[in-house]
Chains A and B, each alone.
Chain A
Amino acid sequence: MPREPIIQLRDVWRTYPGPVPVPVLRGVDLTIAAGEFVAIVGPSGSGKSTLLNLLAGLDRPTKGEVWVAGTRIDVGSEDALTRWRGSRVGILFQFYHLIPVLRAVENVELPLLLRRLPPPDRRARAERALRLVGLAERAHHFPSELSGGQQQRVAIARAIVTDPVIVIADEPTGDLDAESGAAVLDLLARLAHEHGKTIVMVTHDPKARDRADRWVALEKGNVTASAPRPRIQVVS
């Protein structure tokens, strides 16, 4: 049964202003279904990160419409967009961007401060998210006391602790070794397939691309290809 679309981009353009305006996205149309794990691939400068920023509500298109979970996010005030981002989107960065002065569990708790939850409930939800990513025993470590892979898993816990409708990941394995990268990809796949999260991931890594349900290729600001994950055929 076809799944309901949760992300829709309609003729989205993004041009950076300047003496010579730079068009980065040129009329992108894209639909992503709820619970889908999608990889955005393409060469540097193709507009992948710009597309991700638009989906995360960190940037606005010059033209076009961006719809996420029934909300048009390219219009409205800055404050409204910030509130929307805090409640509906989980974001993962290549360099984790954990707050270095906060412990792992406090980092995970951060987005919950935006909700009126009693502190014990916040702590319980943060600990649950850490358990989900397999880092319950590292809850009270500072980021500097964790490996890169562990920091990225804490970042995943932080991204999902508010139960967002979509998780945006910008090169989440780009700074990790192969083993840690595989663990992070496993986790993202589980979030999509077992927990129904919609994952949109920008990556350069072919292995990461092949873990997604579908990949979308961008080139010079246009979607040039979209294909499901290649199936491995066992030849006997």
Chain B
Amino acid sequence: MTSPVPVRYAVRSLVRRRGTALLCVAVFAAEALMLLGCLGLLRGMRGFMRSAADPANLIVLERAVGMLEHSRVPAAAADALAALPGTVVSPELVFGDLATAPDGTTSVPVRGVGPAAEAVRRVRWLAGALPTHDREVALGDAVAKATGLDVGGTLAVDGTPYRVVGRFAASPLYEAEAWAALRGLQRDTGNEGLLSGLVVRGTTVDAALATLRADPRLAELDVRSEVDYFKSQAHQARLFALLALVFGATLGLGVLFGSANTMRLFVEARRAELATLRALGFARHALFAATLLQITLLGLAGAAVGAVGALGLAFVPVTQLTPGFRTVTIAVAVGPGEVAVVTLVTLSLASIAGLVPAVRASRVAVAEVLSHAT
């Protein structure tokens, strides 16, 4: 058995040819950062969805639509379900981008709600209270921060000025909305008697469905838990994951070729050293392992740099990526799991990229190289 080439030689060779080594690290770091960004955003979106769903709530909406913003539910449904004992029903009318901030460019989703909203939504009031009169609106904290509006200000809802009477903290989905008094909003938008859906608490899906089925006018409505509702909304997250996978695979191929080529140059530059080691008695597999070790170290360094960069991404909010493309803020969530996965992927890419250069290193023509190299 022959001894391995000393690690200090492998490391110092990288340091000596730091230009090539840094180029390789940069390639791996870019790949790691991109993958971490994608995975972090995916995790952020899932967390965003989870935080919006309350397991105690049911959502009633038009069966054929599947999305509150596009659903139309007759007011009779609210009356029917409210008759169930112990049930709280919060009727809602939801618009994707009805209001415009004073800057004229930021669109704000508007949710018309009644007094029962406070019983079904986890909301904490930072200032003022839920609007109870026509042309009053409460702003989610994210909207208030994005628009600079606060209690006392005015928000244009479908061109009509609404007075801001409250500011609230909630899950990110709701913090990106403005909540108006339901009846006034129905009237101002020409949707009198119409709702987007209902949030129901205190009953079961089966009981709510049975109640709706009893009235032929409500036969087209569907009931599902809020958790299931947001799961179904997560299809965009799945699409995003698929895109990230395709993007990551493409990037990975580029990284493979880029780093393999860089390592090939690295090996070419060290041919005389490698031949010397062979002449001294180091076996081919020792040089193979040393070269693979070098690129693995570069991959590890790249993954570390990428991970540090990804920590910075956590402070960069990403907007307009939720279902319905609302203006909401999603934090890129990079945890140890994502870092571990990306490190593993980067090391695998490094190992694959290093194979051909490592074979070349192990097969250097000793006599020929040493007789010509200076």
Contact = CB atoms under 8 A, between A and B. Distances in A.
A117 to B, nearest CB: 10
A118 to B, nearest CB: 13
Interface string B73-109: 0000000000000000000000000000000000000
Given A82-B281, A86-B280, A87-B281, A97 B373 contact: yes
A111 B281 contact: yes
Contacts, number: 77
Contact of B280 (A95, A110, A170): A110
Contacts of B9: 99, 101-102
A82 B2 contact: yes
Nearest to A87: B281
Binding site secondary structure of chain B: helix
A85 B283 CA distance: 10
A113 B275 CA distance: 17
**A98, A99, A111: residue with the most chain B Cβ atoms closer than 10 Å:** A99
A99 B8 CA distance: 12
Interface string B274-288: 011111111110000
Given A82-B282, A99-B273, A170-B371, A113 B16 contact: no
A83 B2 contact: yes
A83 B279 CA distance: 10
B16 A101 contact: yes
Interface residues of A, number: 30
A137 interface: no
A59 interface: yes
A127 B6 CA distance: 18
A100 interface: yes
B272 A97 contact: yes
A194 interface: no
Interface in B234-281: 272-273, 275-281
B3 to A, nearest CB: 5
B367 interface: yes
A151 to B, nearest CB: 12
Given A101-B9, A158-B280, 9 more contacts: A78-B284, A82-B2, A86-B2, A91-B279, A97-B275, A97-B370, A97-B373, A100-B16, A101-B15
Interface of B: 2-3, 6, 8-9, 12-13, 15-16, 272-273, 275-284, 366-367, 370-371, 373-374
28 contacts: A49-B371, A58-B366, A59-B367, A78-B284, A79-B2, A82-B278, A82-B282, A83-B2, A83-B283, A91-B279, A93-B370, A97-B272, A97-B275, A97-B279, A97-B370, A98-B276, A99-B9, A101-B12, A102-B12, A110-B277, A110-B280, A111-B280, A113-B3, A114-B281, A158-B280, A170-B370, A170-B371, A175-B374
